[in-house]
Each structure stands twice: as C-alpha cells, then as structure tokens.
Amino acid sequence: MAPQSPNSSSRSRGSIASPVSPTVATRSALTSPAKASPRPPSSEDSTPRPEHALPAPSRARQIEFIGDSHTVGYGNISTRRDCTQDEVWATTDTAQAMPALTARRYAADYQVNAISGRGIVRNYDGMAADTVPTAYPFTLFDKAARYADPAWHPHLFVIALGTNDFTTPLHPGEPWKTRDALHADYEQHYVDFVKRLRAHAPNAHVILWATDMANGEIASEVGKVASRLKAEGERDIGFIPVTGLAFTGCHAHPSTSDDARITMALSTYIDTHPEIWTQK
C-alpha cells in the first residue's frame, strides 16, 4: 500500500527471497529453489562437482501472480505493524507469501509480477509513477526491454489490484474529480488489462481477488470488473472476495497467517475448476 514499499516484479525461473532494493523490479526467479552451491570435494569424496547451480526443472503447470504489496508479501513475517524501512526489507519474504504457497500446493512454476504502491489507474495516495499495467510489459522500470519468454504460457493468472487505487482520498489536481469518475476509469482499464493478458495466453483462467479494505470499495469494483469481462464474452473468469484478514504485517499488510488464508480462498476455487490445468 505505502509507496516506499518493496517491489517484486519477477519473471525468470529460479528462486526468490526478500527484495534487495526499494527501487529495483527484478524479473528473477520463481519456481522451486535452485540447487545449493556444491561443497568442495573432501578426501572422503572426490566426485567431480559442477561449478554452477543447475537450473530448476520445468513443471507442467504455470501460474502468474500480478498485484501490489499484498502479492509481494510486504512485511509479512513482521510481528508488529510499526516498522522502519529497514525492518520492512528484513521482514518481506515473498517465499512465504501467497504466490509461493499457492504454487507449492499445485506443484506449479510461477511468476510474481507485483509492485508495491501501484494500482490499475492510480497509485497509493496519488503517487506519480507508472501503474502496474503500464510497467507490466517491460523487464525493468527503465522500459529498455520488453519481457518475452516463449516457454511461458500460464494456465492461470491470479490478479489483485485496487488497494492503491482506492485506500486514499482523491486530491486536487488528480485526473478524477469524483469517486465515480475514478471507478469508471478503473473498471475500463482493468478490463482492458485482462484482455491484453488473454491476447498472449488465450486459454488461461483468470482469478481476480480482493480484500474487504476501504469499506468494501475494492471488492465492489473488482466484482464489477469480473462481471463486465463475462458480459463482454470473456470466459473462465473468477472473482474471489477475501475477508477475515488481520493485517498484522508491517504497515497493516497481510501477515503469513493472512497469506495462508488468501491461499485457502484461492485453493477452494481452483480445486473446483480442475479444467484450469487441462486447457491448452
């Protein structure tokens, strides 16, 4: 939610722990952890060892997670809400966040493309920076290269965006004069974003999920987006409102217990849609 939060925009395969810089969006790794570096041979073990870790083997299932700090795992292992910036970095563990938990449950390769503080059309408190849909096509924030991986064909997109669009009041000078205008812009851009994702992965299932923050405004808007997509002919669209989160991580973000609760809500849906994994 807060604009100073860690970023995770990870796309290549391997392993991921906590973010390394508040200003870097890495397209780093998100499958099973890479193999550990080999220990030097001893007098008891003279077997030749490879000099470099081997790549993790590909799995049959692929899931892509797109979102903000709730998807990053911002401060999720913290034992308190009041955190310094250094403590945010130290207690942000994407490997214990909802994407990793969900991918492990389904033995899936996965990507996490999430940027803290960013939204669909509006960033936290009106912060000036690229929104997630604007940044999404590129490997890094400098937009020097577009991301492309011919081996990446996700069966499932799991998207949570709207927290930063709606948890703060509009300010003078922002493009939207009223909340209704913000809602209309958000809905249209979210629909367009999902359709762009589908253009590259036409058979992928899409789950949109939302918390009950902002007095239900986020969930209400995401529900409208899901309904519009279905009305416009998009199939395999799911909407999951997630309630009962404690938000005891740094700066009132989801904790690891909350991550488990979100994962359970997603899994309940996924388990009732086995066709997610069979569509080509």
Strands 108-115 and 7-10: antiparallel
Q: Which of 9, 28, 69, 116 is catalytic?
A: 69
Residue position matching structure tokens 């499958």: 31
Is-catalytic flag, 69?
A: yes
CB proximity list for 255: less than 8 A, separation 6 or greater? 76, 77, 78, 246, 247, 248, 249
Cβ neighbours for 163, distance < 8 A, ≥ 6 positions apart: 1, 68, 69, 70, 119, 211, 213, 214, 218
| Proportion of the chain in helix, strand, coil states, percent, rounded to 5 | 35, 15, 50
CA 18 from centroid of its chain's CA atoms: 14
The token pair at 275 is: 């066709």
* Active-site annotation, residues: 69
